[in-house]
Amino acid sequence: MRVDLEMKEELDIVMEEMSKRVGAKWKDIDPSKEGWFKEYSWTKEEEEEFARWMSNHIYNKGSARKMLTRVGKNRRDISQAVNEFLMTYGWSYSDLKLFKVKDISGYFMEDIKEHLTNLQWKDFEKWIYGQTVAVIDDKHLVYEWDYDRWKQGGHRRW
């Protein structure tokens, strides 16, 4: 069980840093609670700054790399692993505007693209292809539940 303890310690370091950046304390957050990552939000820039920190942390600390990823000491692979981590566990974006009309709610594609990193956008674009979207005033609206499912990593479970 030593490995489990080491993994928890490394994960706690990362989650504490991520929480600190939005004014929270990791010990006060219950990750078993549905939608826990929606309790706080950050901007794309704040997420990118955290991603740089986490990439450097994993690159420079072998135990973090071993416990949190399955990649070697390669910056590109680490960056990809960090992006996947953030898509699954990252905070919601504070400036992504939710559009609501009657019983339809979602996010416009152009807003999503503006708020995701390039790597995340490529992943999202591949995933959304073939999904049903609404068209409102000639703009594509991704349903809120679809975006949330993608953000939670549901697109990787199939």
Give yes or no: residues 89 and 140 share one domain.
no
103 and 126, same structural domain? yes
Element (H, E) at 76: helix 75-89
- Residue that wins the pLDDT comparison between 77 and 115: 77
What is the Cβ-side half-sphere exposure of residue 152, based on CA atoms within 13 angstroms? 14
- pLDDT value of residue 153: 67
Domain boundary among 41, 70, 93: 93
Residue 55 pLDDT > 90, yes or no?
A: yes
Number of domains in the chain: 2
Quote the pLDDT of residue 155. Answer: 55
Q: Is 95 in contact with 115 (CB distance < 8 Å)?
A: yes
- Claim to verify: residue 34 and residue 20 sit in the same structural domain: yes
Tell whether the model's pLDDT for residue 151 goes beyond 90: no
pLDDT digits (tens, 9 = 90+) for 4-30: 777 788 888 999 999 998 888 999 988
Q: Is the same domain home to 87 and 126?
A: no
- For residue 106, give the nearest of 116, 96, 91, 121 by alpha carbon: 96
Residues of the chain with pLDDT > 70, as a percent, come to 92
Same-domain check for residues 109 and 84? no
Dihedral over Cα of 113, 119, 125, 127: its sign: negative
Q: How far apart are CA 25 and CA 16, in angstroms?
A: 6
Task: Tell me the residue range of the domain where 116 lies.
Answer: 99-156
Residues 136 and 101 sit within 8 Å (Cβ to Cβ)? yes
Domain boundary residue, one of 93, 121, 137:
93
> Are 8 and 81 within one domain?
yes
| pLDDT for position 154 | 55
Residue (of 85, 79, 87) closest to 120 by Cα position: 87
> Is residue 65 located within the same domain as residue 126?
no
33 & 69 share domain: yes
78 with 8, same domain? yes
Among the three residues 38, 62, 93, which one is the final residue of a domain in this structure?
A: 93
My answer on whether 10 and 68 are in the same domain is yes
User: What pTM value is reported for the model?
Assistant: 0.63
Q: Do 88 and 103 fall within a single domain?
A: no
Average pLDDT taken over every residue of the chain = 84
pLDDT tens digits for range 82-108: 888 888 888 887 667 889 988 889 999
Say whether both 82 and 34 belong to one domain: yes
Mean pLDDT to the nearest integer, 140-152: 87
158: pLDDT strictly greater than 50: no
